[in-house]
Structure 1
Amino acid sequence: LNFAWSRLANRMPFTVYYGVAWAFHIAVLFSNDIYKGYRFAWISPSLQWLDDMGMGIMRWHVLFNMSTLRMLGFLYDVWESATGKTDQLRADQEAKHAENCADCAETKTPCYRLRTCIPRPRAEYSLAHYLAFITYIPLYIGGPLTSFNAYVSHLHTPQRAFDGRKCAVYGARIVMLYLTLVGLLHVNHLSTLRKDDGAFDRMTVPDKMLYGILFLAFLWLKFNLIWKFFRLVAIFDGVEAPEDMNRCFSNTTTVADFWRDWHASFNQWIVRYMYVPMGGNRAKAATIVPIFVFIAVWHDIELHLLWWAGIMCVAFVPELVVGTWFSKKCRWMRDRPYYRHVRALGCALSTLSLVIANLFGYGTGMSSAKGVEGLAGSAVMGLWTLVFLFSSSNIGLQERAVRSEAEMRRKVQCGLVKSQ
């Protein structure tokens, strides 16, 4: 049905074409959750034996959530290729990357972003390519997400960014992540505490705060391990998916930066296939609520995830307002020696909001409410928590500065920027 709908891309307004597709796929997500999959016996009692074979190791309708993103992305890519402006779009994007992209300059091949932005020839949006993209084994279960345009581009021009040495180093990082995760779970039984509804309420205030930070570290290690492993498998196959977990969870300056670095491939998907079609920067404030609600529903249709989405919106809107005001009114502060410390304080507050949001969404769920109230009532613990997060944020900002300098050196070496 999704592929058949894509054939109508140039026969109706974009809002109808894409809006109907979104409504259909969200309805399917709710249907999958309500029925927990579907039974062959509903079609005919004679097919009952297929249901009796078992559901396998993983439920298919959970994995289908990833396929939903790929199908929606495919529809947008098809529409973009049908606009008749592909040549101009290709020329603009290639010129932009030729001037600024160190990845393109180093490998002499298009980077992921360029591969995604350039539409493919209409003939390549075929059923064979579509099915191969939807069911691509290395990235099928957990990602990272890649676009249809980039996937087909890699079929013609495999990635060159990773040679044997870089793959070995990347593999060693994955092994270290695994060992660190095992070590953390060996001494901190985070998953067990998560399943005990009353455990969080029985903790002392310092324990609650430590649990929140450690649980965020656990999520970072777990997803980092999964995404990097499957990404490496895809790299061996010539497909370079976006890098998820670009930074440590504690090295974040804003909530927006956190999500841009955490599930980076999903963030790029949200920007291209949801944020831009909804108006982009012209409607930034209006897109926050639908985006975070969709992220929550997409993960799982649970009340605690809707609470998570609400907390993220509450944290994001003031950050957006303050950030806009600060960039206009306080430009003079950037040259002051204390500017880094002002940013670090903002980082600490952002990290604190992320800890609380993830306790609701992925930690102890709704049982976190009383525990969070207890944290709010402890001024001493709140102060020490901010001191700790402020200190770690200063370290993170310094690391960001080092990365920025390294990226500038790359551009100088590639001839994109003149050395000073």
Structure 2
Amino acid sequence: MSLLDKLRRVYSLDTLDTRFVVSSTTPPRQALASRDEGPQTATKDAQPSLWRTTEFYVYYIIFVTVVIQMVKSPMEVSKTTYPTYSKYSHLLSDGWIFGRKADNSDSQYSTFRDNVPYLIILLIAHPLLRRMYDIFWGANNYAQSNKSSKNSKLTQGLSPAAAADARLQQRVSFDVYFAGVFMIALHGFSASKVFGILYINYSLLKGLPREYLPAATWIFNIGILFANELGHGYPFATMASFFGASGTKWGIWMDHHGGLISRWEILFNLTILRLISFNMDYYWSLSSNGTNSSEKKQIDPADLSERDRVSIPAKPEDFTFRNYIGYTLYAPLYLTGPIITFNDFTSQMRYKLASITPDRTARYAVRFLVVFLTMEILIHYIYAVAISKADPDWSSYTPFQLSMLGYFNLHHIWLKLLIPWRFFRLWALTDGIDPPENMTRCMSNNYSILAFWRGWHRSFNRWIVRYMFIPLGGSQQSGLLGNIQKIGNYLLVFMFVAMWHDINLRLLMWGWLITIFVIPEISAKMLFPAKKYKERPTTYRILSGLGAIANILMLMVANLVGYALGVDGLKGLLHGMIGSTAGLALFAAISGCLFVGSQIMFEVREEEKRAGIDMKC
């Protein structure tokens, strides 16, 4: 295999997540074997290739020329010789690339970056400890339940189903023990607060009548979101103050022993999603009356499609406190996710997915290293975050420089989320669990607001769809009233997403902006349906490109407000960009470049369709 072929394999969708190339309704072993046999049939609506047309050769010239200038501009304003350097230089840290300073001023990413050596030790040690645990308990010989178990000491004489149950119990046993040590190391005495909330949620689940479970689950868990925020993690000193001065003294001492991450409440938002998943999967399982859905459908439980792994209820005996702790505090996914439903998690604990292979995991590790190094280069040569944090005088920059500072600020946000998500998914893959990939595409490879949110924090989006959007009515409604209801559902969803991230006005405004910006896209789809342009694909492509310009600009505005600059910062940035004739001319040029970019994005998706892949984003 040539170097180019190896590079292509590393950057294939199959490497990133087999869910991108396998239908959610197809058993993965069967689908992956089919893809290995040769080229796939193109989807029915795939268009002929445009890569070698005159139109696209013009786009290539524009693309290469503009991208070089886009990178060069923020690098120029990040030089030590630029007049504004002294205003933000105190936010920079010592770097390691050619003597450059590093912009490690983002507290969220710096926490991850500064702890990478310890995280790598964990990634290596955790699977090794599991292996040692299995060897110690004689479980190293148990067969994978989709193979013969004749030579297994632990499962000899057991049916495949019983062997799968043995694998589940063995893995959960290790996860529960590891979770106890892991939580104490992370949160110290505050681990007791986490276990306390988990116990209350489980008690509600088991103690309430079935009809009250959904309301109780949502009320309790949203209440915990607010309580954690308003109570600042319930400091022991505050709680112990009711017992007098001696109690306060002990409380302060306990607060000072809060582990590696004393602010446990910041991380608990992800655990909230797992609590809701466990409760709601249990609630829906009660409707199955204990019947085995996989047997009823006559499908192989060792090779379930993704949809079946999520929708087929776990066994009644799986909803135990022990499995609950193993799931909610599963170490590789505890800190950042990705999020996996309880049904899917339990299925994978019984049967290792065919998608997890040493070769694919190694390729995924290479992709993680490449994106991590990309971030290192970015923070060493483009100081967009530090500049925005230093309360800058935006008039010191040209309109083009301002636009690129905003653009690379967004890229920093994308990378600072992508890197931890990809690292912890790599850890899970190494441990034999395959959660969904959280980032479908590069931030700059999106033109639809709806598709962008399907591909950004993808596991959270899928969680939202299963546990919130579909129960609210989904998006299947038609007509004017149906679209109004759909928009109302989006508003509720994005308000929850904003509150889930952080309870503040800036993120609520982000949620409202996203909902408002969705309306033009939905309206355009109603006014210009694709089926009316089947005979005029070029016309439809041009119209879609014009719509893509508006969508991309609205996405940038919403995310700069919610995650980077806030409303006031955005006002200053926009005034500097379009508050002059030169700024307006730049805006027109940017719109033209976005049109070119959108046409290339369209063709990337058409290329995927020609390979039999339709990611719908």
Question: Does the alignment reach a TM-score above 0.5?
Answer: yes
Corresponding residue for residue 417 of structure 2: 223
Q: Structure 2 residue aligned with 1:395, among 590, 600, 612?
A: 600
Identity of aligned residues (%): 31
Give the AA of the match of 1:39: P
The residue correspondences of 1:266-415 to structure 2 (distance < 5 A) are 266-281=460-475, 282=477, 283-327=485-529, 331-336=531-536, 337-366=538-567, 367-375=569-577, 377=579, 378-408=583-613
Q: Which moved more, 1:18-27 or 1:366-375?
A: 366-375
Instruction: Tell me the residue number matched to 1:3.
Output: 202
What amino acid does structure 1 have at the position aligned with 2:607?
V
Please report how far the alpha carbon of residue 137 of structure 1 lies from its aligned counterpart in structure 2 after TM superposition: 0.5
Bigger relative CO (Cα 8 Å, ≥ 6 apart): 2
Give the aligned partner of residue 56 of structure 1.
260
Please tell me the residue identity of whatever aligns with 2:507. Answer: L
Amino acid paired to 1:4: S
Q: Give the whole-Å Cα distance in 1 for the aligned partners of 2:515 and 2:203.
A: 36
Tell whether the 8 Å contact from 1:200 to 1:364 is kept in structure 2 after alignment.
Answer: no
CA contact (8 A) 2:399 2:578 kept: no
Structure 1 CA distance, aligned partners of 2:205 and 2:389? 43
Change in 2 beyond 3 A, CA 1:349/1:85: farther
Corresponding residue SS for 2:585: helix
Do 2:384 and 2:406's aligned partners in 1 also have CA atoms closer than 8 Å?
A: no
Q: Is the 8 A contact 2:487 2:515 kept in 1?
A: no
Query: How far is the alpha carbon of 1:208 from its aligned partner?
Result: 2.3
Code of the aligned partner of 1:32: N
Tell me how far apart the structure 2 counterparts of residues 234 and 341 of structure 1 sit (CA, whole Å): 43
**Is structure 2 residue 396 aligned with structure 1 residue 196?**
no
C-alpha deviation, 1:125, in angstroms: 1.0
SS in 2 for 1:277: helix
2:437/2:458 contact within 8 Å kept:
yes
Q: Which runs of 5+ in 2 are unaligned?
A: 1-199, 478-484
Match of 2:72 in 1: none
Q: Tell me whether 1:167 sits opposite 2:361 in the alignment.
A: yes
Say if 1:190 and 1:55 are closer, same or farther in 2 by CA, change over 3 A.
Answer: farther
Q: 1:70: Cα distance to partner?
A: 0.8
Where does residue 228 of structure 2 map in the other structure? 32
Q: Take 1:26 and 1:81, find their aligned partners in 2: how far apart are those partners?
A: 23
CA 1:89 to 1:325, structure 2 compared with 1: closer, same or farther past 3 Å?
farther
User: Is residue 436–residue 459 contact of structure 2 (8 Å, CA) maintained in 1?
Assistant: yes
Contact 2:394 2:576 in 1 (8 A): no
For 2:387 and 2:496, locate their aligned partners in 1 and report how far apart those are by CA, in whole Å. 28
Name the CA shift for 1:334/1:203 in 2 (closer, same or farther; >3 Å): farther
Matches within 5 A, 1:238-249: 238-249=432-443
Point out where structure 1 has 5 or more consecutive residues left out of the alignment. 99-103, 410-420
Secondary structure (helix, strand or coil) at the match of 2:257 reads: coil
Q: Equivalences for 1:41-80 in 2 at 5 Å?
A: 41=237, 42-43=239-240, 44=243, 45=247, 46-54=250-258, 56-57=260-261, 59-80=263-284
Q: Match of 2:361, as an amino acid?
A: C
Normalized per residue, the structure richer in helix is 1
Aligned-residue CA RMSD in angstroms?
2.5
Which protein has the larger Cα radius of gyration, Structure 1 or Structure 2? 2
Aligned length: 394
